[in-house]
Amino acid sequence: MLAIKDFAVSFRTRRGEVQAVRGISLDLAEGETLGIVGESGSGKSVTSYALMRILDAGGRIKAGSAVFEGRDLAQAAERDMQGIRGREISMIFQNPRAALNPIRKVGHQLEDVLRRHGRATRANARAKAIEALEAVRIRDAEARYDAYPFELSGGMCQRIVFAIALACGPRLLIADEPTTGLDITTQKAVMDLVRDLTRERGMSSILITHDLGLAAEYCDRLAVMKDGQIVETGPAAQLFADPQHPYTQKLVDATPRPGAGLRDLLPIEARTPLPDHAPGDRALVQVRDLVKTYPGKSGPVHAVKGISFTIREGQSVGLVGESGCGKSTTSSMLVRLLDRTSGDILFEGHDIADITADRFVRDKRRSQIQMVFQDATDSLNPRHSARQTIADPILRMSDLRGPALSARIEELATLCGLPLPLLDRFPHQLSGGQKARVGIARAIALDPKFLILDEPTAALDVSIQAVVLNLLADLRARLGMTYLFVSHDLNVVRLLCDHVVVMQGGEIVEQGPAAQVMDTPSHPYTRTLLAAAPKPPTTRTGTAKTAAKSAAE
Amino acid sequence: MAGRTRAIGMRLAQTVPVILGVIVISFVLTRALPGDPAVYFAGAMADEQSIQQVREALGLDKPLVTQFFLYVGDLAQGDLGRSISTGQPVLTDLAARLPASLELTLSALVLSCVIAIPLGVLAAVRQGSWVDHLCRVLVTAGVSLPTFFTGILLVYIFYYLLGWAPSPLGRLDFIYFEPPRVTGFYLIDSLIAGDLETFAATLRQLALPTITLALFTLAPIARMTRAAMLQALSADYIRTARAAGLSRGKVLFGYGLRNALLPVVTTLGMVFSFVLGANVLVEKVFAWPGIGSYAVEALVASDYAAVQGFVLAMAFLFVTLNLIIDLSYALIDPRIGFDTK
């Protein structure tokens, strides 16, 4: 149905022409689901935009053809493409809330598409739009018709983007990272819906993602892209079990999966033995009946409703839950950037909750509690070099100056695996992984006892995530730090944490040793979370335990 | 809907302290100005005694606090006082002159919007093309040429050299009669009276000052439209709309421009309030009987009542203008609901 041959896309930039896609060839059969997997910069999204001919200014198809049902999309006139887009090929995008016009009712956005492709008239547009909303299983579609995107959840917005894509009955759906930024249970709901509806209608689909596990679960066939080229294609299970190309092998290894340890995520040659890690018995942080209530438009919002847990010295505790569960509020209160409404936070036996956030800055314990922030890019000052960034907390909270300071910064960079020549670069000159290292070096600069990690790998590619997670494990052993690891990714939490706290709606629903919570969850919500995580097929490097487990399933 | 009415009421209530503040400040400031109105109005030949007489007649011999309460008392009855230079009640003066300024300002803004918004949109859509360059040249010229200069230049070319424009003396050529007063806007009043000839004459008279002001106000509006449009067009929802096969016009105007309008409306409000106070230069060049020249003359003469009346009228205008802009925000962008405040 779609035959892509020697397809190449380039962009004009100030530094000359950049080849984003370098001659790829792919075939897609009727009713087939193809996954295009690759890390950022691999050209996978550019390929899909080029197929739709919606490349940004400066981008153009340089060579090759993409024949869709007898027409070459690379050569088609713009007028013909307008008829093809939305009616024969449609797309859904990442970040669904931004993908909808913020100031137009979602029903009207649907009508725009329906009427454009002659599927509705002025008279029946409303009814047809509601029908289209019902088709993506939106309950109470009539009421949703009048909603604006900002009034809807991310998952609901993605359903509406999907409804727009499906409205005119296309033959091919291209999904570009459709679940990035969505919660894990929402991700599953959206992906299941996409799979069910495309199957029902006999549509073909292309799923573009960085998540190999997700692609393997939902696609018939996978194509792995790197630097604008396809390095390997094959059936999903086979690709996982027996990757041919070294890059595929690296991706498969780096994907967190049950049964694989932290070191298993790294390439074979980097798998040194993991340092011993045994938490002590003394409690470092005790949280007692912690409550946070925000004043809201319609009454107070109870973000955290009286939670209690203990973090022992040297322990790594995972704080898990979906967006809005209160995990970020909790971590902000623990790091003392946010004041609690009531409750105690004991740090080494002393209550620090009474010290307000703006006074805690000058407290001597400030250096003991540090944080690694979620977005490595946004949490670095763009006008500070890596060296200045790492020096910042030292200058503020210790007396180290001059050569001793430089020596300390270089020591920290070496600890975090940041090459010394990169220290004088600015954030925009560093890669995502390097920025993450700078963020970690800054956080450990004052030898903190307690480090709060707020989804430190959420924005990173899997292979970089593997390296950063291993770095965190090494640092923990070396510096004897205690971690609170905030994440929505249970597979990642299982790798790094000894103890897991599961939060839902501002309350702790379950906590216990990581293995116990993961393997024998007692609360239904934990079971839902675990079930929603994509389950990659067995790998060659997987242990016998995983093999036995997947056989049991 | 009831919530919205209440919210507008709240918004109106917030303007009360602003107005009160303006009353106090304008009173104090006019008194603080150097110059004694009694000396000014008693004339060059006056002696001590006649100056004192004038001072008593104007009520300036009383303590400041007493003067203030007398002034507020008059205000409460709708009496803005009497201008000593024109001899008319200030309210009458303002009612005669404000429409002249408003007519000029509004027609200039309409003209500059009609030119600037499409120009900004085109410049954003065809970035780097000749339209974009034209936009840049116009914007630079608009902000760098002072209005009195462009005004005189236009008069020189179109009145003196070409003779296309009527003499730049006021709102209407002396051979025409003023249309019967309904709104104070000659364009509207002449239409109401069905007098097309007067309408055309008003239009001819209005053309040059309008173009002068429009050239000046065009710059910020075109600039902001271009920037806002560029930002809107790079948004994700534009990509979604294109991927859904919507037509180019729908994508550009239905999705792009409507989202870009918010900063444009903000700029429009700022430009309007700025121009209303600052078009005194244009009024002087074209002998326009507007509020700007009135205020300057009153200020020179230390004509307290007139200056205070002018400041108060402007404050009322700005407050109304801000209210209208806030309301139009809510109309354009559903996210700015009044109930969320």
* Each residue's pLDDT tens digit, A65-105: 999 988 999 999 988 998 899 999 999 988 888 999 999 99
Check if A11 contacts B (Cβ < 8 Å). Answer: no
CA–CA min distance A109, chain B (Å) = 9
The pLDDT score that the predictor gives to residue A549 is 41
The answer to whether residues B32 and B126 belong to one domain is: no
Residue B84 lies in a domain: no
Q: Among partner residues B250, B258, B340, which is closest to A112 by beta-carbon distance?
A: B250
Instruction: Tell me which residue range forms the domain holding B14.
Output: 2-76
Helix H, strand E, coil C: the string for A247-261 is HHHHHHHHCCCCCCC
* Calpha distance B59→B5 (Å, rounded): 44
* Calpha distance A343→A289 (Å, rounded): 5
Binned at pLDDT 50, 70 and 90, residue A543 comes out as very low
CA–CA min distance A166, chain B (Å) = 10
Q: What residues in A contact B263, CB-CB < 8 Å?
A: none
Interface test mutation site (partner A, options B127, B129, B230, B237, max chain A beta carbons within 10 A): B237
Can you name the residues that pair with A226 across neighbouring β-strands? A229
Q: What residues in B contact A57, CB-CB < 8 Å?
A: 127
Percentage of the residues of chain A whose pLDDT score is greater than 70: 97
Residue B13 lies in a domain: yes
CA–CA min distance A177, chain B (Å) = 13
The chain B residue lying nearest A116, using CA atoms, is B246
pLDDT exceeds cutoff 80 at B243: yes
CATH class of the domain whose range is A283-535 = alpha beta
Q: Among partner residues A57, A116, A150, which is closest to B245 by beta-carbon distance?
A: A116
Chain A (155-194) residues lying within 8 Å, Cβ to Cβ, of chain B: 161, 164-165
Interface test mutation site (partner A, options B132, B236, B250, B335, max chain A beta carbons within 10 A): B236
pLDDT exceeds cutoff 50 at B341: no
CA–CA min distance B19, chain A (Å) = 29
Interface test mutation site (partner B, options A112, A115, A158, A177, max chain B beta carbons within 10 A): A112
Chain A (266-305) residues lying within 8 Å, Cβ to Cβ, of chain B: 297
Beta carbons within 10 angstroms of residue A16's beta carbon: 8
- How many folded domains does chain B comprise? 2
Q: How many CB pairs under 8 A join A and B?
A: 84
The answer to whether residues B128 and B235 belong to one domain is: yes
pLDDT exceeds cutoff 50 at A400: yes
Among B76, B101, B128, give the residue marking a domain's end: B76
The pLDDT score that the predictor gives to residue A287 is 93
pLDDT exceeds cutoff 50 at A275: yes
Residue B133 lies in a domain: yes
The answer to whether residues B142 and B31 belong to one domain is: no
pLDDT exceeds cutoff 50 at A542: no
Q: Find, among B263, B228, B256, the residue nearest to A102 by Cα.
A: B256
Residue B341 lies in a domain: no
The answer to whether residues B113 and B226 belong to one domain is: yes
Q: What residues in B contact A46, CB-CB < 8 Å?
A: none
| Residue A440 to residues A338, A376, A435, Cα–Cα distance (Å) | 21, 9, 9
The pLDDT score that the predictor gives to residue B7 is 72
The chain A residue lying nearest B128, using CA atoms, is A57
The pLDDT score that the predictor gives to residue A552 is 43
Give the mean model confidence (pLDDT) for residues B161-186: 84
pLDDT in tens, A137-189: 888 899 999 999 988 888 899 999 999 999 998 999 999 989 887 888 888 99
Exposed e or buried b per residue across A371-389, where buried means at least 16 C-beta atoms within 10 angstroms of its C-beta = bbbbbbeebbeeeebbbbb
Check if A91 contacts B (Cβ < 8 Å). Answer: yes
Residue B51 lies in a domain: yes
Helix (H) or strand (E) holding A380, with range, is none
Q: What residues in B contact A49, CB-CB < 8 Å?
A: 239
* Calpha distance A95→B52 (Å, rounded): 77
The pLDDT score that the predictor gives to residue A301 is 86
The answer to whether residues B129 and B211 belong to one domain is: yes
Helix (H) or strand (E) holding A206, with range, is strand A204-209
Residue B83 lies in a domain: no
CATH class of the domain whose range is A2-263 = alpha beta
Q: Which two tokens stand for residue B296?
A: 């300057």
Binned at pLDDT 50, 70 and 90, residue B119 comes out as very high
The pLDDT score that the predictor gives to residue B337 is 61
* Calpha distance B341→B337 (Å, rounded): 8
**Mean pLDDT, chain A, integer:** 88
The answer to whether residues B245 and B314 belong to one domain is: yes
Q: Among partner residues B245, B255, B339, which is closest to A101 by beta-carbon distance?
A: B255
Question: Cβ(B109)–Cβ(B221) under 8 Å?
Answer: no
Contact check, Cβ <8 Å, A100/B240: yes
Q: What is the dihedral of CA B12, B16, B21, B27, to 10 degrees?
A: 110
Question: Cβ(A234)–Cβ(A26) under 8 Å?
Answer: no
* Calpha distance B217→B120 (Å, rounded): 13
The answer to whether residues B72 and B104 belong to one domain is: no
The answer to whether residues B218 and B249 belong to one domain is: yes
CA–CA min distance B252, chain A (Å) = 12
Based on DSSP, count helices (H) and strands (E) in chain B, helices before strands.
Answer: 16, 0
The chain B residue lying nearest A101, using CA atoms, is B237
pLDDT exceeds cutoff 90 at A453: yes
The pLDDT score that the predictor gives to residue B322 is 85
Give the mean model confidence (pLDDT) for residues A376-385: 89
* Calpha distance B290→B297 (Å, rounded): 11
Q: Find, among B30, B263, B12, B226, the residue nearest to B133 by Cα.
A: B226
* Calpha distance A276→B304 (Å, rounded): 86
Give the mean model confidence (pLDDT) for residues B281-293: 88
Question: Cβ(B94)–Cβ(B80) under 8 Å?
Answer: yes
Contact check, Cβ <8 Å, B335/A161: no
The pLDDT score that the predictor gives to residue A548 is 41
The answer to whether residues B60 and B115 belong to one domain is: no
Place of tokens 């009520």: B59
Residue B82 lies in a domain: no
CATH of the domain at B266: 1.10.3720.10
Q: Which two tokens stand for residue B317?
A: 């205008």
B157 or A541: whose pLDDT is higher?
B157
Q: Among partner residues A85, A87, A98, which is closest to B235 by beta-carbon distance?
A: A98
Percentage of the residues of chain A whose pLDDT score is greater than 90: 51
Check if A102 contacts B (Cβ < 8 Å). Answer: yes
Give the mean model confidence (pLDDT) for residues A257-267: 82
Q: What is the Cα A33 distance to its own chain's centre?
A: 22
pLDDT in tens, A170-181: 999 999 989 887
| Residue B305 to residues B62, B70, B87, B107, Cα–Cα distance (Å) | 16, 12, 11, 29
CA–CA min distance B320, chain A (Å) = 25
Question: Cβ(A234)–Cβ(A225) under 8 Å?
Answer: no
Q: What residues in A contact B258, CB-CB < 8 Å?
A: 103-104
The answer to whether residues B40 and B132 belong to one domain is: no
| Residue B45 to residues A482, B40, B50, Cα–Cα distance (Å) | 92, 11, 10
Among B15, B43, B76, give the residue marking a domain's end: B76
pLDDT in tens, A205-220: 999 998 888 898 899 9
| Sequence-ordered strand ranges (E) for A505-552 | 507-513
Segments of chain A assigned to CATH 3.40.50.300:
2-263, 283-535
Give the mean model confidence (pLDDT) for residues B281-299: 87
The chain B residue lying nearest A147, using CA atoms, is B334
The answer to whether residues B246 and B120 belong to one domain is: yes
Contact check, Cβ <8 Å, B247/A117: no
Among B20, B51, B76, give the residue marking a domain's end: B76
Q: Among partner residues B234, B236, B335, which is closest to A99 by beta-carbon distance?
A: B236
Give the mean model confidence (pLDDT) for residues A16-22: 89
Q: Which amino acid is at A150?
A: F
Residue B340 lies in a domain: no
- Range from A362-371, A450-459, A483-492, B77-86 carrying the lowest mean pLDDT: B77-86
Which chain B residues have any C-beta within 8 angstroms of a chain A C-beta?
127, 234-237, 239-247, 250, 254-255, 258-259, 332-335, 339-340
Q: Which amino acid is at A53?
A: R
The pLDDT score that the predictor gives to residue A553 is 41
The one-character DSSP state at A416 is: T
The answer to whether residues B134 and B188 belong to one domain is: yes
Contact check, Cβ <8 Å, A54/B243: yes
